[in-house]
Amino acid sequence: MAAEEHGPTAGEYIIHHLTHFQNHKPASVVDFTVFNLDSIFWSVLLGIVTCGLLWAAARKATSGVPGRFQAAVEILVDMVDSQAKGIVHNEKSRRLVAPLALTVFVWIIVLNTMDLLPVDFIPWIWGYVYGASGHETEHAFMRVVPTADLSITMGLSVSVLLICLVYNVKIKGLGGWAHELVTAPFGTSKNPIFALLLGVVNLAMQLVEFVAKTVSHGMRLFGNMYAGELLFLLIALLGGAFTLSVGGFVLAGLQIFAGTVWAIFHILIIVLQAFVFMMLTLVYVGQAHDSH
């Protein structure tokens, strides 16, 4: 007798939705040759959409009474510009930093908003396309929330780190920054031996600070969005247990209620996490301008 077909278990369902579409399977826990193609695709696509929206707002800007879209963008620009002025005091640097912060803020909001789509909608479409091209549908993996991918959020935080290093050298000079690395935060000494010891300790502290800021910057965004995505999957499982019974209808009603409440609350998380990432970007770039 042929084995009866059955749907995936709850664990298989979650694992499938949390698996990336990759160029190949990782050979180890850390494999830098693996690329999460789904995260890259959605990040680039939504990045183009973000730049397109901001470009459209700038192109249609008028000195008269602004429309709703222009007014919303102007509010965002004023908000980011005021935050940049309060943190980055170098006017020349703000010409790059303020637009960068605005782009990061809007881009991350758009990336986070993908979490509000029904969890099975795009994966179902991708599964149909993947299967129609002759592949096995059980291997049709597709994750649509790039900020729930650690490689994306860490890529963003490392990019911020590189910008900070560039401004450290640009503002303080290579020699000035090198001197700061070995003299802050504990200072130095006239005694050569103590000066050497303090230099090693200061350098170690500076390296720890750079690493800690970068890791926490990316992990904070990833952790919140990954938890949100996982909770949406758990809520979706309530609908998967639907049957033509009183209990089945109770589960369906609970799924609709829980999904609605969490989606409304998640809107706050989406905006808040984008704002926190933007503010930390400004703070770290501002710290690169300060001398110790």
Q: Which of 43, 224, 245, 291 does the annotation list as catalytic?
A: 224
Query: In this structure, is the dihedral angle defined by the CA atoms of residues 11, 13, 15 and 17, taken in order, positive or negative?
Result: negative
Longest dimension (CA), the chain: 87
Catalytic residue among 59, 220, 245, 291: 220
* CA distances from residue 274 to 34, 107, 220, 223, 238 in whole angstroms, order as listed: 26, 8, 11, 13, 30
Please say if 224 is a catalytic residue.
yes
123: tokens are: 């994966």
| Triad 237, 243, 245: Cα angle to 5° | 130
Mark whether 82 is an active-site residue: no
Listed in sequence order, the DSSP H helices in the chain are 10-17, 37-59, 68-87, 91-113, 121-132, 150-183, 192-240, 246-289
Say how far apart CA 200 and CA 221 lie, in whole Å.
32
Long-range contacts of residues 251-255, Cβ cutoff 8 Å, at least 24 apart: none
Catalytic residue among 189, 191, 216, 291: 216
Active site residue 220: yes
Hey, which residues are catalytic here?
A: 216, 220, 224
